[in-house]
Structure 1
């Protein structure tokens, strides 16, 4: 069955932001390659302003976020939803719900509405208590107004079942396996093969960057620690100030649109630290696994569900210090890397993910059509 699909909830493609935008890029092009007609909604501020990209049709909607801040996201989502009402989509796939479910009364009910429920947004410490309460409400509204649900993590799937007594389809994200590492790229950062540690994340409290750096700072390591991510926010500036006298810690800033450089830095690192503690299956973790990095991850159910026993875990600066001072690379560590790579090949590759989405979307449309026919009054 060929579908007409609208994808909402991102700033748009091609990806210039990460997260859901990267996912929308892979998914939309993958579904188009399978013969479906796919539309992705783009902010009018998106740097790419053409009407198509790799045979994906783009719909540009007015987005006042640059003027209004976060409230502008609500206006942008509303504009996208109103436009979608006249497009006669078979499926509307909503990526996340933070600023869209408030408009649930306007969703086009003739389409099959499917939500990717994202992570537990209301747990993110960057939000104030009132905002966290709103996000809990937004989550409830997303459940109420959508027809079907997707969970990218089995932890999220279990949460939805427990909290709302709803079933959801578990479909994780994917990662691309790269083989183009270039050791000469390390020279830019003054590091050598297996001679440095690395983390790559947004400067957010729930990513536990300060915990990781506290542990490293207290260690006796002579290696460098590369912190990759923009520090242009309150926490980022605080961390730069706090560790400015530790010359081993290098804040590189963000590295954007250089997949070979990012892959190389992960591949040659001695240990890749993943501190994320909120959300579902994190794309950056999958990418580290695909880059054959040896992973040390924050101890939580989300990370455990992906890595299982093929990582080192920490939950305090003391444990980070212990990992840095005691882990050496050997056969056991190589086996952990190989098993994580096998997970990418078998569970988290884009071909499998896109096929699961296609099957689920088609199944939902058929089921909703069948239910509508049964509910239609007979003459």
Structure 2
């Protein structure tokens, strides 16, 4: 598994997928190697997975690419694995290197990264190019949401493997951690997101501030590359004691407790596929207020309140202030949906079957290698 920060998972969706899938493949008798960067732990094995630690350039545009390049070089100079999973379409330039060594590659395409505002014009252009290059290079393409799969079908006319993330099912969590933050169970709204415009943290904070809610708004997150946007969020929250900006929370037990004991989880993400933060809230049995985009509706199955502006968020915060019926009903419903449709065991089985298929020679490459974006000519 190549192209992520690796294990232990402490960052995002890719890393969680690598850990959850990798550990299950090991339990099923497979040998799994995970390439890792930046981990405080230097052990060569984690949950049965072999861990290879390699460096990366600590620069926004080059960190992922530099580490993946070193990982690919390391992989091709050792005994070839039966299959490789490369995560992030940006890493597609290294797919031919692996395939040239006879290693079949499934490329996880992520969620239309070129739409993210954190990248400048050149960064977005690169992601669009890398996306197309990945389509033409890999043996299989993984999409983590129906909307992403539809995009590749419509844009390139190539099939993808729809493999969604799993949801951690949280049976409960101690209240000590949230009590220490002066919070009460069931009496606060929670946001967990990087501070980036497409995650709409600013609109959530503005909407909440305009509401008559008394349950605090607890915001977990930060953004190392978005100082101006972060300042706008802080300015919107300034002077309102109901709004609590906690910054990053890296204690996973505390983060679980924040999800489990929240009244609602407010999800502003608008770019990407099936989002791990949303799944974590669903697995915790926490009712959701979500940005109105197809990815979120697909994940929730319409079991939530949706908004597209600060004013719509304000209406939800205000209407839920006195609600005593809808919140527990939707809390139970999203948890049941997570248990039924987002099981890590099922995700691991899908990865296992895909690895077996590409290892046996099954590949979309003969069909996809001449693919072009819709509207362009070969």
- TM-score norm. by structure 2 comes to 0.90
Task: Provide closer, same or farther for how the CA distance between residues 231 and 121 of structure 1 changes in structure 2, counting only shifts above 3 A.
Answer: closer
- Secondary structure of the 2:238 match is coil
RMSD of the TM alignment (CA)? 1.9
Which residue in the other structure is 1:38 paired with? Answer: 32
Counterpart of 2:53 in structure 1 is 60
User: Aligned partners of 1:315, 1:17: CA distance in 2, in Å?
Assistant: 27
- Which of 330, 338, 348 is 2:342 aligned to? 348
Corresponding position: 1:101 with 2:95: no
Instruction: Give secondary structure in 2 for the equivalent of 1:182.
Output: coil
Within 2, Cα distance between the matches of 1:189 and 1:362? 48
Equivalent position to 1:147, from 139, 144, 149: 139
- Which position in structure 2 is the counterpart of 1:376? none
User: Structure 2: any 5+ residue segments left out of the alignment?
Assistant: 367-378
> 2:328 aligned with 1:337, yes or no?
no
Give secondary structure in 2 for the equivalent of 1:353.
Answer: helix
Select the residue among 135, 138, 148 that pairs with 2:127: 135
Q: 1:24 aligns with which of 12, 18, 22?
A: 18
Equivalent of 1:173, from 165, 180, 183?
165
**Does residue 74 in structure 1 map to residue 65 in structure 2?**
yes
1:275 maps onto 2:255 in alignment: no
- Mapped to 2, the partners of 1:163 and 1:307 lie a distance apart of 25
Q: Distance in 2 between matches of 1:172 and 1:143?
A: 19
Task: Please tell me whether the aligned partners of residues 282 and 334 of structure 2 are also in contact (alpha carbons under 8 angstroms).
Answer: yes
> What SS does structure 2 have at the residue aligned with 1:115?
strand
> Could you tell me how far apart the structure 1 residues matched to 2:43 and 2:122 are?
39
Superposition TM-score, scaled by structure 1 size = 0.90
Of 5, 8, 13, the residue aligned with 2:2 is 8
Greater RCO structure (CA 8 Å; 6+ sep): 2
Aligned partner of 1:254 among 239, 248, 257? 248
Q: Distance in 2 between the 1:248 and 1:311 partners?
A: 23
What is the 5 A alignment of 1:88-237? 88-98=80-90, 100-109=91-100, 110-230=102-222, 233-234=226-227, 235-237=229-231
User: Using the alignment, how far apart are the partners of 2:103 and 2:232 within structure 1?
Assistant: 47
Match of 2:43 in 1: 50
Alpha-carbon distance in 2 for matches of 1:242, 1:175: 32
Query: Aligned partners of 1:78 and 1:248: how far apart in 2?
Result: 46
Following TM superposition, by how much is the alpha carbon of 1:69 offset from its aligned partner in structure 2, in angstroms? 4.2
Task: Decide which of 75, 79, 91 is 1:84's aligned counterpart.
Answer: 75
* Segment of structure 1 superposing worse, 116-125 or 266-275: 266-275
The answer for unaligned runs of 5 or more in structure 1 is 1-6, 373-379
